[in-house]
Chains A and B, each alone.
Chain A
């Protein structure tokens, strides 16, 4: 596969456990050697079995963060962070900025003198990130680095890491099987199933338009729409999606201005005719039927409401509503059926 990742952006390597994500990451890092093929980063060739090229991890200018922080237990936090700068044999390494800036942005400067053994899980991850970023890597590799953390710590770390990468302009590859993490952190996404990359593209596209059934199954069948919270009142958020507005129940405090992904499952979308009386659903969007696919007794109706949206209805309903491609209908979605994932 080949992906363009803008400076400061994150490529998510997504897939179920055992799909081979970590293997790919280790091969990019140079810790494992593929049997055949090529690995290139920019104009650098890191591996080419035909040409007999193999760059060891030391020469790839990467940063690596495992699921476990793997800090050097005999060193202090500061010595851990300085380790690469101090001992790297490759003299051409350049630091992107003063170490203290990275340490400050990750909030580890107050614990710099502490032993690496005496850190909480969240602190240890922050130190591991600072250590990986300190020598100024051209690519940061993250292998489910937040998996073992509690939810609030994880959310904060995701946000801080994204902000820091953006600021440093460092590209990253993030391995995860957690779709919320993929949406919160990722810009581009590669979906891996059974050792193969099945789909590559911007993250919302991959979720909303899976290339095949296997990819759809691994991602969950759901529309994922880039959106922005525009207003909040009485527990109800107003969210702008394309040119439309959705009303969404506010489960977690989400201030206006937050970029989110709005996730809508096809089984939660109902279709009404224009003359149908209003029901309890908060959202009624004018929609045009684009396509109808038969999935056993269920029909999948693809609608265009300014954005693509799938609805699952029974064949009986489809026949009663006389649905056909081109028909103008109303898509109804309950405010509680729209799930928001804030972008970290």
Chain B
């Protein structure tokens, strides 16, 4: 078992989830409540990682944060080193790649809050932002938990198994397309959750490898560790790590499922 890689994956998943929480809630709020007619473009940009081949996304992120881009040069001036092949670079790629997994459950849940509750709140003299804080957010706990758990789970749980064994990248696109079709129908369902996580985690391998490279403790996440193990014919270590990730993913999804079904169900008028 490669504990260093596992610890790195946990750190990456935690950091990604934290960033997505901070960025995703305002973004989802804006997507749901903005009257701007072109906002569907922003929604599409957020959803792009679901359908774009992951190597393409990884490539563009690498270019965007590399030494030739303004962003990469500015970061190098401030931090003293470049973004590619660092934890920060990996975090940027991971956040972009996981964005739809946080933003879509958030916005679906915000949009499902009965509009009359908002109007009742506004008529009582409560501002839009305060209404969001005191009505929309408390009633969206279920969607927030789903978004957080999904973001965390697929950043952490990079199976990569299918990719290693089958090595079939077109398959990723097919699953991702399925996710795009299924997603609008029932983003909160267990099936969708599994499909999204699975499709997504399959792809993350490529992004990680492209941006991060394979440096132990820095960018070598657990999926790459498994990949290396298989390459080195160390199937024992690979299967241990795989099983652990399988169990963790299952427990996380099962918990999400139970949360969705019981405690947070709210009456519809």
Contact = CB atoms under 8 A, between A and B. Distances in A.
A284 interface: no
A56 interface: yes
A122 interface: no
Contacts of A63: 123-124
B120 interface: yes
Interface stretch (B10-18, B88-96, B102-110, B132-140): B132-140
B120 A135 contact: no
Given A73-B139, A73-B267, A64 B117 contact: no
A61 B117 CA distance: 17
15 contacts: A29-B123, A57-B123, A61-B125, A62-B123, A64-B120, A64-B123, A70-B269, A73-B266, A74-B139, A83-B124, A87-B121, A87-B131, A88-B125, A89-B125, A89-B130
> Which of B114, B122, B131, B267 has its CB near the most chain A CB atoms (within 10 A)?
B122
Contacts, number: 79
A69 B267 CA distance: 13
A93 interface: yes
Interface string A73-112: 1100000000110011110010000000000000000000
Interface centre among A58, A66, A131 (most CB of B within 10 A): A58
Contacts of B114: 70
B124 A132 contact: yes
A31 B121 CA distance: 11
Interface range on chain B (Cβ under 8 Å from partner)? 20 to 34
B126 A68 contact: no
Interface of B: 114, 116-117, 119-127, 130-131, 134-135, 138-139, 266-267, 269
A90 B125 CA distance: 6
A58 B266 CA distance: 26
Contacts of A68: 116, 269
B269 A88 contact: no
A90 B266 CA distance: 30
A64 B115 CA distance: 14
B126 A87 contact: yes
Nearest to B138: A74
B125 A84 contact: yes
A40 interface: no
Contacts of B126: 58, 83-84, 87-89
A104 B117 CA distance: 24
Contacts of A54: none
Contacts of B124: 63-64, 83-84, 87-88, 131-132, 135
A159 interface: no
A70 B125 contact: no
B209 to A, nearest CB: 44
Contacts of A135: 124-125
A156 interface: no
A117 interface: yes
Contact of B122 (A31, A69, A132): A31
Nearest to B134: A87
